[in-house]
Structure 1
Amino acid sequence: MATLRVLARVALPSTTRGRFGAAVGVPGRLLSTTTAGAKPLPMFSMEGKVCLVTGAARGLGYEFCRAFVSSGCTSLAVLDLVEADARASAEELKTYAKEFNGDTELNAVGIECDVSSEVSVQNAFADTLKTFGRVDAVVASAGIVHNHSAFDYPVDRLKRLYDINVHGAFFTAREAAKAMIPQGGGAVVLIASMSANIVNVPQLQTPYNASKAAVKHMASSLAVEWAKQGVRVNVLSPGYMQTKLLKTVLSHDTELKKTWESLTPMGRLGNPEDLAGAIVYLCSDASKFMTGSEIRVDGGYCSV
């Protein structure tokens, strides 16, 4: 019987040595600790792909960028509302690429983009294509959330939320498809939420939940519309993820954190890096026969 070899890629301190030899690197770097000859499936590699992420200056969008860099991406467009923030994050990602792999020269550009504006999204894609000539993987990560009762929800905030979460996802996906179809295809991932499938408690956020449900069905519809033209559209739906912002919020409301943990079967909140494998899978050739689907990374929340 053939022996099954598994590639273990884990975050280790810089001084850690693997069981089968030296495993030296920077803290948090993914390191191989397996026998010689074991290799990851090449279809999971992002090498040679041009990636674009909206809402990428911080939060989950930034983590998606790190995941792409860790998987071999060397051409990356970092889009965010404030150009200075996007550029700063692009420079941080270049540093991360060198720490992760000293031989990696990451070409990352920070681009201003207000996803609620069709013209702004069009200009951001034009800048990306001018820089890289193509775009292979696009992640619509920009989004906002407010907590108000349905009766008290301010109308201006309601409109802003839908402009960013729903219209922004649509504008991003459409510009991605316009660029991808002439080149033979590509992968688009819309970031929804477990809130597309359940009602969060105890916080009140009906418009947000509805916006993410819209994004989920939007992806299915676009996937069918563009399937024969080589553009795959899928959804990644995170559960409660401990971004820096959420950690700050929960530090002032420990009871809410306990409530969310108790409602999650795994008994904990997610870490942003828990999404890395899923986003790389959806944007790489590993999922080349997958479109119109959703991956939930929620610690089992939607299962109960």
Structure 2
Amino acid sequence: MASLLRTTPTHLLRSSLVSSRRAALPFLQTRSQSNGPPLANTPVSNFKAPNAPSEEASALKDSNKPASFLGTTKRLPEFNLHGKVVLVTGAARGLGLVQAEALLEAGATVYALDRLAEPSEEFLRVQKRAAEELGTTLHYRQIDVRDVAGLNEIVKSISDSQGKLDGLISAAGRQQETSALEYTAKDANTMFEVNITGSFMTAQAVAKEMIRWGNGGSIAMIASMSGTIANKVHSLLPPPLLLPPPADHKSQGLICPAYNASKAGVIQLARNLAAEWGTHGIRVNTISPGYIATAMVEALFEQYPERKRDWPTQNMLGQLSVPQQYRGAAVFLISDASSFMTAADLRIDGGHSAW
């Protein structure tokens, strides 16, 4: 070998070594020639998610054997909510119901609490799907979160019947758009009773049961980006006389001082509950959505069409969110995927608050 090195020109030796490496590792040659991925990582066209394993497919047909494609032993098991009992307030419809369905898909047994005498038709669809497709159950309990005695009774009865309580998503809330100069004390107190005190008392009732069973748990409260920022609005006063008044100067933006204050309270409340209950293994976090295109907001756009035009321009993605975009956040916060996360605010607002 020494003589070969002494007698062979350097450029021929280098060429011989490269050729031998290419022969041993053909994917390197392919990559260098095509400047694309190696053969071992060829892109797959028309990719579709694989079917659930056969044992899960059969379990999905039996409501006594809950199954979940996501959360199996080989597929992100930390997201698995099988055997978990989770309460969701404000889940008769809207964002609360969408998040309840996500929890069901992850395998949880879900109890929806809402003040409506009857849940929405969409709720009935989700309830039917839970039993027939997801192998779990969705229940409904009517309660106003301001009824503290009734709330405690319902939460304890659920806990007793299930022998545990693992999670809560506090999504019950109230919104009212009124200028600060016109807000009444009665309306402001109602806002705070539902959004702050109602969330507080619900979390308290659930935490008592979690502590009673000694298994810890996770609580997620729905706050808002408006709990951190003041929504941009045009002046409610007419512009100077020298300038022509814009046609929409009184209606553009979102004017809800009590609501924003209540959501700020929810964020701070969660931090304090997390500090007190962490020793019991209870985590408390908040989700702060941006503008959501719900049925209620769509009706608002009919009254203020300029909002439908302008609101999407106020975030970095240039669009409004939909309730389905918060499904993953609910599962993440309730599951063990967020096991080291507490006293945090998960802001999902398309970058609105970061300008």
Fold conserved (TM > 0.5)? yes
TM-score interval w.r.t. the shorter chain? 0.7 to 0.9
Who is 1:153 aligned against?
Answer: 183
Structure 1 residue 106 displacement after superposition: 2.5
Bigger drift between 165-174 and 146-155 goes to 146-155
Q: Distance in 2 between matches of 1:187 and 1:39?
A: 24
Runs of 4+ in 1 over 6 A off after TM superposition: 21-24
The verdict on how the C-alpha distance between 1:133 and 1:121 changes in structure 2, with shifts beyond 3 A counting, is same
Question: 2:48 and 2:193 mapped to 1: Cα distance?
Answer: 52
SS at match of 1:84: coil
Aligned-pair distance for 1:65?
0.4
Letter paired with 1:128: I
Offset of 1:18 from its aligned partner? 5.6
The superposition leaves residues 221-275 of structure 1 with CA deviations (integer Å, 9 ceiling, x where unpaired) of 0101010111100011111111222122224422112221111111000011110
CA 1:176–1:198 in structure 2 vs 1: closer, same or farther (change >3 Å)? Answer: same
Residue pair 1:91, 1:108 contacting (<8 A) in 2 also: no
Task: Give the aligned partner of residue 208 of structure 1.
Answer: 259
What corresponds to 1:54 in structure 2?
Answer: 89
Render the CA deviation track for 1:143-202: whole Å, top value 9, x for unaligned: 011111111012221111110000001001101110111222000011100011101132
Counterparts in 2 of 1:130 and 1:55: CA distance versus 1, 3 Å? same
1:92 corresponds to 2:92: no
Counterpart residue identity of residue 185, structure 1: G
The aligned residue for residue 77 of structure 2 is 42
* Corresponding residue SS for 2:146: coil
Length, aligned pairs only = 274
Which residue of 1 is the match for residue 239 of structure 2?
none
Residue 143 (structure 2) aligns with? 113
Q: CA deviation at 1:209?
A: 0.6
Q: 2 CA distance for matches of 1:181 and 1:151?
A: 44
With the length of structure 2 as denominator, give the TM-score of the two structures.
Answer: 0.72
Per the alignment, residue 188 of structure 1 pairs with 219
Decide which of 272, 278, 281 is 1:230's aligned counterpart: 281
Instruction: Structure 1: give runs of 5+ residues left out of the alignment.
Output: 6-16, 25-30
The structure whose residues are more often strand, as a share, is 1
Unmatched segments (≥5 aa) in structure 2 = 1-40, 53-67, 233-252
| Aligned position for 2:207 | 177
The more displaced of 238-247 and 164-173 is 238-247
Q: CA deviation at 1:38?
A: 10
CA 62–20 in structure 1, closer or farther in 2 if over 3 Å, else same: closer
Larger Rg: 2
SS of equivalent residue, structure 1 residue 142: coil
Determine whether 1:301 maps to 2:355. Answer: no
CA shift for structure 1 position 40: 2.9
Equivalence for 2:343: 292
Counterparts of 1:273-292 in structure 2, within 5 Å, are 273-292=324-343
CA contact (8 A) 1:94 1:105 kept: no
- 2:116 equivalent to 1:82: yes
